Amino acid sequence: MQLRRNGASASSPVVDDGVNEQLSDEVGQEPAGRVDDGEPEADGASGAHAGVGTEVEPERALEPQPRNTTGLDGDALRESLGLVEEHLDAIGTDFYSQLFVMAPETRELFGAGMEVQRSRLLGAIVRIVGSADDRDVLEPYLEGLGRDHRKFGVIDQHYAPVGTALILAIRRALGKRWTPRYEKAWVDGYDHIASVMVGAARRDAVISPPWWDAEVVYHRRILDDVAILQVRPHTDYPYRPGQYTYLTTPRRPKIWRAYSMASAPRDDGLLEFHVRTVGAGWVSSALVWRTEPGDVLHLGAPQGHDVASPRSEHDLLCITGGTGIAPVLATLQELEQRQDGRRVHVFYAGRDRDHLYALPHLESIGVRYRRLTVVPVVSPDGPTDRSPDLMGNIVSAYGDWRKHRVYVAGPTSMVATSLERLRDQGVPDEQVVVDDYGLW
Ligand SMILES: NC(=O)C1=CN([C@@H]2O[C@H](COP(=O)(O)OP(=O)(O)OC[C@H]3O[C@@H](n4cnc5c(N)ncnc54)[C@H](O)[C@@H]3O)[C@@H](O)[C@H]2O)C=CC1
């Protein structure tokens, strides 16, 4: 392994000539609409394709028409939501109030503190409405949502009151601007959402539990605010390096937060997680401060990307900071185990040497996996002490990454600015995978 400091010499990494292969395979339950579900396209009801014998004015026939492959009235959905975009939080609050009145049993599905839940709901609505015309994007996302909602204990009967409460909340926010067309668009839209989610949840129930119980067997605080946990799932938990899961702890029941597996799949079934307390984060502080061996966590289904896919042979660039190193460690362990031939560069940011807590582990992997290069980026905390472009500038000054597959996981500002620098360098977006935890 070559170990270099900040701004290390800009020797060009080895690159290969392959193009157009995805860095990573989407596996398992990933819902984010970044994957083709392989289903045939449906012809939409938009009239974009003129039927046989239909008379069409020649000049109009030549105009490119947007395709609608879902039959939903996406324009009405977007227009109506756009009218109340300043009031989305209020819509979320009104929705849950209505829902808990109409179906009080649904309150049991949620833990304390609804803010994150509300913002996930609103994020999902915005995403669904944004892709309402595009079946290839919408359906995989909805299927993922349906499967994922099993872990909350959602059952088919919950979908009707959810739809009623949602449409009521949007209608109330629009007031006199609500029209019959909006009504139809939302009723049809929600019917579609519910039927795709219910179908996916039913299919998933045949092959997977709604969650996996996993006992904590090791817990160590390696920094004031960072802990490493190892857990043993009670039953087989299949996942790939680079993937993440939502988990919940009995000390904060029913509140789910995402963490990446920090270890490659092992024969003894153990999984590792790295957790940093985030402000008053209820789950992260419980996991760092009040978790001990014997606690049983619940793990949702694995989601996200297979960063170490054996089907990709392309050199890999990983840009990471803090506990974002976790999925990178899992990836490197797997590449090392199978002595994969690809070169890997890891840029790893931390406040100081202590906060680069995974360096010894990276060094030991590098001894056995000689094609690994690690570049530690010592970076003071706080935007006043550090240019937001620090990581992006170091990465782009280091070499030419246009033929690499790129994986980015870390603090949001670091991710955003690094992506900008990669784009400036001409790295195509489709070669880049960012861990956004599905954003729901
Ligand atoms: N725990 C996990 O399993 C995973 C976490 N993540 C994400 O990784 C992030 C890591 O969070 P923390 O551990 O709290 O890390 P953090 O917020 O403490 O950041 C780590 C280091 O990155 C530096 N940094 C921030 N912006 C930078 C920039 N623009 N250029 C250079 N350095 C910069 C900071 O100064 C800090 O020293 C979170 O957003 C988390 O969601 C991602 C994947 C897995």
For 196-250, the DSSP string reads HHHHHHHHHHHHS-SSEEEEEEEEEEEETTEEEEEEEESS-----TTEEEEEE-T
- Distance in Å, CA 401 to ligand 1 centroid: 22
CB 331 within 8 A of CB 407: yes
Q: What is the pLDDT of residue 349?
A: 96
User: Per-domain residue ranges for the chain?
Assistant: 2-24+307-439, 65-207, 212-305
Residue whose tokens read 């999925």? 327
- Atom 17 in ligand 1: residue holding the nearest Cα: 411
Q: Would you call 333 exposed, middle or buried from its count of C-beta atoms within 10 A (0-12, 13-18, 19+)?
A: buried
**Per-residue pLDDT, 36:** 27
Count of CB atoms situated within 10 Å of the CB of 112? 9
Q: Which residue has the tokens 């947007």?
A: 66
What 3-state DSSP class applies to 330?
A: helix
Q: What pLDDT was estimated at residue 386?
A: 77
If one residue of 379, 398, 419, 435 were mutated to test the ligand 1 pocket, choosing by the most ligand atoms within 8 A of its CB, it would be 379
Does residue 404 contact residue 314 with C-beta atoms inside 8 Å? yes
- Dist CA 142 CA 32 (whole Å): 9
Where helices occur in 265-324 by DSSP H, the ranges are 282-289
Terminal-to-terminal C-alpha distance of the chain: 38
Nearest CA to ligand 1 atom 26: 414
Beta-bridged to residue 408, according to DSSP, are 319, 434
Alpha-helix residue ranges (DSSP H) falling in 307-405: 325-337, 359-368, 390-398
Return all residues near 260 (Cβ < 8 A) that are at least 6 apart. 242, 243, 244, 273, 274, 304, 326, 327, 330, 409, 435
Pairwise CA distance, residues 212 & 209, whole Å: 7
Rounded to the nearest whole angstrom, what is the distance from the C-alpha of residue 3 to the centroid of ligand 1? 20
Separation between Cα atoms, residue 211 and residue 148, nearest integer Å:
9
Chain-centre distance of CA 160, in angstroms? 27
Distance 206 CA to ligand 1 centre (A): 38
DSSP-derived secondary structure letter, 192: H
Ligand 1 site residues, Cβ closer than 6 angstroms: 259-260, 274-276, 321-324, 326-327, 349-351, 355, 377, 379, 381, 388, 390-391, 409-414, 417, 435
Token duo for residue 280: 């008053």
Written as six digits, the tokens of 218 are 């090791």
Encoded tokens for 34: 């970044």
Phi, psi of 296 (to 5 degrees): -110, 115
According to DSSP, the β-strands at 25-26 and 257-260 are unpaired
Residue 283 CA to ligand 1 centre (angstroms): 17
The Cα 15–Cα 102 span in angstroms is 59
The token pair at 193 is 């959402």
Rounded to whole angstroms, the Cα distance separating 20 from 9 reads 29
Q: Which fold has domain 212-305?
A: Elongation Factor Tu (Ef-tu); domain 3 (2.40.30)
**CA–centroid distance, residue 352 to ligand 1 (Å):** 13
Rounded Cα gap, residues 285 and 291, in angstroms: 9
Of ligand 1's atoms, which has the minimum distance to the CA of residue 323? 13
Pairing of strands 372-378, 432-434: unpaired
CA of 77 to the centre of ligand 1 (A): 36
Does 212-305 match 65-207 at the fold level?
A: no
What is the number of the ligand 1 atom nearest to the C-alpha of 390?
A: 30
Architecture per CATH, 65-207: Orthogonal Bundle (1.10)
Distance 321 CA to ligand 1 centre (A): 4
Architecture of 2-24+307-439 per CATH?
A: 3-Layer(aba) Sandwich (3.40)
Say which residue the tokens 């909805």 belong to. 142
For residue 194, the SS3 value is helix
φ/ψ region of 322 (left if φ > 0, alpha if ψ in -120 to 50, else beta) reads left
Q: Please state the ipTM of this predicted complex.
A: 0.95
**For residue 320, how far is its CA from the centre of ligand 1 (angstroms)?**
7
What's the pLDDT score for residue 61? 52
Q: What is the model's pLDDT at position 45?
A: 30
- Over residues 336-374, the pLDDT tens digits come to 999 998 999 999 999 999 999 999 999 999 999 999 999
Q: What dihedral angle (degrees, nearest 10) is formed by the CA atoms of 15, 327, 241, 283? A: -160
Q: Which of 148, 332, 335 is nearest to 245 (CA)?
A: 148
Select from 130, 139, 34, 137 the least CA-distant residue to 430: 34
pLDDT of residue 279: 74
| Chain segment 22-31, per-residue pLDDT in tens | 444 545 433 2
Specify the pLDDT at position 14: 24
Angle between helices 180-207 and 115-130 (to 10 degrees): 110
Low-confidence ranges of the chain (pLDDT < 70): 1-66, 382-383, 436-440
Nearest CA to ligand 1 atom 4: 324
